[in-house]
A and B are shown apart, each in its own frame.
Chain A
Amino acid sequence: MWQIFHKLGSPKWFFGIASKLMPWLLWVGAAMLVAGIVWGLGFAPKDYLQGNSYRIIFIHVPAAFLAQSVYIMMAVAGLVTLVWRMKLADVFVRAVAPVGAILTFLALFTGAVWGKPTWGTWWIWDARLTSMLILLFLYFGVMALGAAISDEKSSARAVAVLVLVGVVNIPIIKYSVEWWNTLHQPATFKLTEKPSMPAEMWVPLLLSVLGLYLIFGWLACLRMQTEILVREGRTRWVKELVQARGN
């Protein structure tokens, strides 16, 4: 167990594993996402209440789902940074924060465009929407703080603390639709219950969620590799790797 933990902490080991995994993550993820979207856009039945505008769900829910789980993953990595000083955990946080910000923006944007024909308004300051907006600002904060401190170790610690403080927002987002009166509909997927929609709707949705997860995995590996190359530029293995790739 400890051996695996140590290996996981080794940038060189991670770099090799990531290179092997990345093609799978990208192509399987893209295939699932495209299948889910094509199914959802063209073949899933129309919603009896919302009509065809509900078809935005096949990207809105994956983006919102990922936006929150990426933050939770960052919080776990932040904890690992603080407790075990594992460099790779900090590399992860730096690498995925911009991806998380884009996913949060996409969730907000697609939600606003969906809101117009469904609720009659682009935006409302209610609990779910506002807490998602705070999540976007938290991502921006993590990126800005990371860039503002040049010392690698203090920067890693500061970013980890900010990520951990911000994680309080996640249960607020999740339960906002239950705690407060909000225009937003309750969760589509719950682990404990059967989905409230027919299989022709939730199967493509599940496909696109899983597909986007895999694509996120690819992006995370790719961006972590870049961060590792920058940080470990002076080590021998990076020099050898860079030379080998050039020939």
Chain B
Amino acid sequence: MAFDSLGAFIAMEGHGPYVWTCYFVFFLLMGAISLWSLRQRRFVIEQQRRRTGSRAMPDNSPAGANFTRIEPSQD
């Protein structure tokens, strides 16, 4: 250990505020971008699932346009 006590470690001979500010901001921003990126992916997956889900089950969808494939006569 480079310091004698916890107090000395936090104070860092007067440089504590500078050092700890840097580390705080570093972890804050890296944490923020990580969480934001994770949420973004989850959001996109949710969105896609809702889209494909509603298309896969047209019977459950509320009244609206209904596209049914028709087979015109080939004669």
Contacts and interface: CB of A to CB of B under 8 A. Distances in A.
Report if A and B associate in a common complex.
Answer: yes
Interface of A: 37, 41-46, 51-53, 55-56, 59-60, 63, 98-99, 102, 105-106, 109-110, 113-114, 116-117, 215, 219, 222-223, 225-226, 229-230, 233, 238-239, 242-243, 245-246
Contact of B45 (A45, A102, A229): A229
Contacts of A233: 48, 51
Contact of B26 (A45, A55, A106, A219): A106
Nearest to B23: A59
Given A53-B15, A226-B37, A242-B45, 13 more contacts: A59-B22, A60-B22, A102-B33, A106-B25, A113-B18, A222-B41, A225-B41, A226-B40, A226-B41, A233-B51, A238-B48, A246-B49, A246-B53
Contacts of A43: 1-2
A113 B21 contact: yes
Q: How large is the interface on B (under 10, 10 to 19, 20 to 34, 35 or more residues)?
A: 20 to 34
A229 B23 contact: no
A229 B18 contact: no
